[in-house]
């Protein structure tokens, strides 16, 4: 399990435009890395739109926002276009990066156990070190909470 003070595991995934993006590309900036379940769903849309609304504030803190789900790049593109999302959405269909960050876990819904994404956010500093870990976050509150954490 990842801990604060550890180096954030590097990865390379496709974004909503089909381009390869690596975490290492953002050295020198703070990164708000959030994992969510699915594009176009209620909670995930609230979370993404919250980050979009606060984007100027994150930019002022020298922070980039990166969302990761198992959706494919084309689905991310539709999601970004529909809600005017001004940040990267990365595709992790095989959940390899989810597993690196410990967010691919067994979940129980109505007594049925399945594997899925636990909504989580990681703050990564300019040198690539994890400075905050937030698990089982509330979608609508997460963007404001992360901005507050960055400013602390």
Mean pLDDT in order along the chain per 10 residues (152 residues)? 96 98 98 97 96 98 98 98 98 97 90 93 98 96 97 92
Q: What angle do CA 51, 22, 89 make, to 5 degrees?
A: 30
pLDDT at 149: 97
pLDDT at 22: 98
Full set of structural domains in the chain with CATH: 12-151 (3.40.30.10)
* Catalytic-labelled residue, pool 44, 103, 123, 139: 44
Q: Is the pTM of this model over 0.85?
A: yes
pLDDT of residue 1: 85
State the pLDDT at residue 108: 82
Specify whether 44 is catalytic: yes
Strands ordered across the beta sheet of 88-91? 20-22, 12-15, 88-91, 63-69, 30-35, 120-124, 130-135
């Amino acid at each position: 399990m990842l801990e604060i003070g550890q180096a954030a595991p590097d990865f390379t995934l496709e974004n909503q435009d089909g381009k390869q993006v690596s975490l290492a590309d953002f050295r020198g900036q703070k990164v708000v890395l959030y994992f969510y379940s699915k594009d176009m769903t209620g909670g995930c849309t609230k979370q993404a739109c919250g980050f979009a609304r606060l984007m100027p504030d994150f930019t002022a803190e020298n922070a980039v926002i990166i969302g990761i789900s198992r959706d494919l790049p084309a689905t991310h593109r539709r999601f970004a276009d529909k809600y005017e999302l001004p940040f990267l959405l990365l595709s992790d269909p095989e959940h390899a990066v989810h597993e690196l960050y410990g967010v691919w876990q067994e979940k129980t819904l109505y007594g049925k156990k399945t594997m899925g994404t636990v909504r989580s956010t990681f703050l990564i500093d300019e040198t690539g070190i994890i400075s905050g870990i937030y698990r089982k976050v509330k979608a609508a509150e997460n963007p404001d909470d992360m901005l507050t954490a960055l400013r602390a």
